Amino acid sequence: MQSQMKESGPLLEVENLSASTENLPILKGVSLTVYPGEIHAIMGRNGCGKSTLSKIIAGHPSYNITNGEIKFSGENINSLGPEERAQSGIFLGFQYPIEIPGVSNLEFLRVSTNARRKFLNKEELDTFDFEELVKEKLELVKMDHAFLSRSVNQGFSGGEKKRNEILQMALLEPKIAILDETDSGLDIDALRIVASGIKKISNAQTGIILITHYQRLLDEIKPNYVHVMSDGQIIKTGGSDLALELEKKGYEWTDNFIKET
């Protein structure tokens, strides 16, 4: 019974989080709570700390948490390494997916999927079983099987890289997915593919944080909450209409909130 109670509690709680890199403060007291089944959007100018927030939640070693905490399923994860966070179900979709020369995409996907499965006490998949699973997931993002034999992200177009991120998300079945500008650099068709992939993967148990500049992704995936970030803080939170208003009025409009506060 207790675990059920936990399930209904918040998935992710970011509490008054401050963080810096090389002594430069980037986050200045961010608070954010995500419940299962919720979709949150975070918007804001370049350099406002959106990407940093996502990296810190995923455990990037370059940032120091100077204050506050991050809880995942009720547990403080401040001191967990990125691989432990990933295994336990936190997923970060990268704005700029990294190229790893020489490492086959298929092998990379298999090793990471098995790392997650091991954590879930599920049987690890051998090459053949994994092939079956990945075939099914490729459909979601309309990717060709040939992608699997190439090196991780190497020579992929912008759109292919982003679809590869969604493919990883589909395989890892995270509890919370933070998608950092997954929509940037996509043409309309690719955006639809990515958006429908995200929708198919998400369910009542998953939380999603979309970091984006554009309304067009939010047209496809309607968020429950929209947060506006500026200078390392969330300065305004609203419903999906906030994004529409932002689109119309631009970020200059949000500067007034800062003056108000």
Partner 1 sequence: MVNENLVTDVVKEPYKYGFVTDIETEKIAKGLNEDIIRLISQKKEEPQYLLDFRLKAFKKWQKMDEPDWAGLGYKQIDYQDIIYYSAPKQKDKISSLDEVDPKLLETFDKLGIPLTEQKKLTNVAVDAVFDSVSIATTFREELAEHGVIFCSISEAVKNHSDLIEKYLGTVVPASDNYFAALNSAVFSDGSFVYIPKGVTCPMDLSSYFRINSGDSGQFERTLIIAEESSSVSYLEGCTAPMFDTNTLHAAVVELIALDDASIKYSTVQNWYAGDEEGVGGIFNFVTKRGKCLGKRSKISWSQVETGSAITWKYPSCLLLGEESVGEFYSVALTNNLQQADTGTKMIHVGPKTKSTIVSKGISAGNSINSYRGLVKMGTKSAGSRNYSQCDSMLIGDQASANTFPYIKSQQPNSEIEHEASTCRISEDQLFYLQSRGIEFEEAVSMMVSGFCKDVFNQLPMEFAAEADKLLALKLEGSVG
Among the listed ranges 15-23, 114-122, 156-164, 233-241, the one in contact with partner 1 (CB under 8 A) is 114-122
Alpha-carbon distance 146 to 248, whole Å?
42
Q: Taking CB under 8 A as the criterion, which residues in 69-108 touch partner 1? A: 81-83, 85-87, 92, 94, 97-98, 100-104, 107-108
Alpha-carbon distance 203 to 37, whole Å?
6
CA dist 252 → 42, 51, 104 (Å): 16, 20, 45
Sequential DSSP letters for 62-100:
T-EEEEEEEEETTEE-TT--HHHHHHHTEEEE-SSPPPE
Q: Taking CB under 8 A as the criterion, which residues in 172-191 touch partner 1? A: 172
- CA dihedral (198, 140, 203, 51) in degrees, to 10, reads -30
Which phi and psi angles does 251 have, rounded to 5°? -70, -20
Are 163 and 105 within 8 A, CB to CB?
Answer: no
Nearer to partner 1, 20 or 112 (CB): 112
Q: Taking CB under 8 A as the criterion, which residues in 229-258 touch partner 1? A: none
Among the listed ranges 1-9, 52-60, 67-75, 243-251, the one in contact with partner 1 (CB under 8 A) is 52-60
Are 201 and 170 within 8 A, CB to CB?
Answer: yes
Half-sphere exposure of 147 (CA within 13 A, CB side): 25
Q: How many residues at the interface with partner 1, by CB under 8 A?
A: 32
Beta carbon of residue 180, minimum distance to partner 1 (angstroms, whole number): 11
Binding mask 133-152 for partner 1 (x = CB under 8 A): ------------------x-
Binding mask 201-230 for partner 1 (x = CB under 8 A): ------------------------------
Identified binder of partner 1 from the candidate list 18, 33, 66, 112, rule CB under 8 A: 112
Nearer to partner 1, 168 or 233 (CB): 168
Q: Is 162 near partner 1 (CB under 8 A)?
A: no
Q: Is 161 near partner 1 (CB under 8 A)?
A: no
Query: Longest Cα pair distance anywhere in the chain, in angstroms?
Result: 59
Q: Is 116 near partner 1 (CB under 8 A)?
A: yes
Nearer to partner 1, 35 or 119 (CB): 119
Nearer to partner 1, 116 or 137 (CB): 116
Are 209 and 177 within 8 A, CB to CB?
Answer: yes
Integer-rounded Cα radius of gyration of the chain: 18
Q: Is 21 near partner 1 (CB under 8 A)?
A: no
Q: How far is C-alpha 131 from the geometric centre of its chain's CA atoms? A: 25
| Residues at the contact surface with partner 1, assessed by CB under 8 A | 58-62, 81-83, 85-87, 92, 94, 97-98, 100-104, 107-108, 111-112, 114-116, 119, 127, 151, 168, 172
